[in-house]
Structure 1
Amino acid sequence: MLENLRSFAQPYGGDLILPLILLAVVSLAVLWQFKSRMDVAQLRRMIRVAALVALLGSVFAMQLGAAYYALAIVLLVWGVVVGIVFGREIGRKR
């Protein structure tokens, strides 16, 4: 099964995209658990950090060439999802 995933991911950035997707999903799950324990200032800080990581990571991935555009998309989607989840939590706490 892992070989099927590797062959599927080959045109989208190779072996690097699989651990990146796993890291994005795990980090979203962990952040989902901790969002209720953070205050508004920490939530805003996390949104800024997620935006910075997503932007810089996607720029570097796009600089590597067209084969790594999927990595840039994964990073941007991760940053947007973190921003939406934490933004809703900020709205709920107000």
Structure 2
Amino acid sequence: MLENLRSFAQPYGGDLFLLLIALAVVSLAALVGIRKRLQVQQLRRVIRVAALVALLGSVFAMQIGSAYYAIAGVLLAWGVLVGIIFGREIGSKR
């Protein structure tokens, strides 16, 4: 099964693409688990850091070459999901 995934991900950046998807899923699960315990200021900081990571990571991925555009897309999608999830949490705490 891993070979099927590796052959699927080869045009999109190879193993780095798979690693980034796994990291994004794990980090989203961890962030969703701790969002209830964070204060509003901490939630805003997490949104800012996620936006910064997504923006810088996607810019670097696009600078490497067109084969890494999928990695840039994953990073941007991760940043948007973090912003939406934590933005709703900020709205519910007010």
Name the TM-score class by shorter chain.
over 0.9
**1:10 aligned onto 2:5:** no
Which runs of no fewer than 5 residues in structure 1 stay unpaired? Answer: none
1:41 counterpart residue number: 41
Aligned-pair identity (%): 78
Deviation string, structure 1 residues 66-85 (Cα, Å, up to 9, x no partner)? 00000000000000000000
Equivalenced residues, count: 94
Q: Which residue is 2:58 aligned to?
A: 58
The corresponding residue for 1:88 is 88
Return 10-19 or 73-82, whichever deviates more. 10-19
Runs (5+) with no aligned partner, structure 2: none
| TM-score, scaled to structure 1 | 0.99
RMSD: 0.3
